[in-house]
Amino acid sequence: MHNSRILLIDDEQHIVDVVLYVLEENAFEVVTALDGDAGLRLFKEKKPDLVLLDLNLPAIPGLELFKEMRAVRPDIPVIMLTSRSEEVDRVIGLELGADDYVTKPFSTRELVARVRAVLRRSTNKEDKESSNQLRHGPIDLDCTAFSLAYFGQPVQLTRAEFRLLECLVRYPARVFTRDVLIDRIHEDGHIVTDRSIDAYVKRLRKKLTGVKPHLNPIETVHGLGYKLDKDVEKAQ
């Protein structure tokens, strides 16, 4: 099994030096960048297993870089490095689906523990996602038969509707922009646009609320896109 590759993006050289040393001492492979542009380039080139992302970056701000990375790889685990004064950005990052955050100044032991915990959760999630059966609360998807059972009732979906819902269920904490959803459900010979995505979401909501009228399973994140509503998992 390969050593996990960590991409560290932080503009403070002394933090980079300390974190690089500690992670390498703990058998991680580490790639570093001091600004958002270099971070995005290395993210695409090196394909890390996890990203440690400072929010206060030159070139590309941390939150913008986070959204760009998630547009490329919605499943990439991200731990945000923040200062106490960046609470609002941290909250926004968590709402967008960041896996964890560490506040500066931080204990290197705590950082290593957080990295290991997030990688462990990510590995467990990948094992679950290798299955063709997906379950999240009352949503049961069979990705081979393209079938959905919602609260135990079968619901007929088009292939595009199924792929959109599958995307949301595979990554229930993630916010998906329309562009990412277009890439995920695109089929040869069939043009998918922003308006198509909105139409698929509208139809999905109608079909699902037909089973459970008072539960809207797909949340609109204004200015960003869509995600699975957090109340779905515990719905009865």
Domain extent listing, the chain: 5-129, 133-228
Tell me the pTM.
Answer: 0.61
Provide the b/e sequence for 177-197 (b: ≥16 CB within 10 Å). Answer: bbebbbebbeeeeeebeeebb
133-228 CATH pick, 1.10.10.10, 3.30.450.40, 1.10.3720.10, 2.120.10.30: 1.10.10.10
Residue 84: the pLDDT is: 67
The predicted-structure confidence for 70-123, as pLDDT tens digits, reads as follows 888 888 899 999 886 666 777 777 777 788 888 888 899 989 998 998 888 777
Residue 86: the pLDDT is: 65
Residue 131: the pLDDT is: 60
Backbone torsions φ then ψ of 17, nearest 5 degrees:
-60, -45
Tally of CB atoms within 10 A around 226: 24
Measure the CA–CA gap between 200 and 45, rounded to whole angstroms. Answer: 33
Please enumerate in sequence order all residues whose Cβ is within 8 A of that of 168, keeping only pairs 6 or more positions apart, or say none: 174, 176, 218, 226, 227, 228
The predicted-structure confidence for 27-67, as pLDDT tens digits, reads as follows 999 999 999 999 999 999 999 999 999 988 988 988 899 98
Q: Which residues pair with 140 in a beta bridge?
A: 135, 149
Query: Of the given ranges (7-11, 81-85, 169-173), which has the lowest mean pLDDT?
Result: 81-85
Q: Which residue has better confidence, 7 or 194?
A: 7
CATH class of 5-129: alpha beta
133-228 and 5-129 share a CATH fold = no
Please enumerate in sequence order all residues whose Cβ is within 8 A of that of 223, keeping only pairs 6 or more positions apart, or say none: none
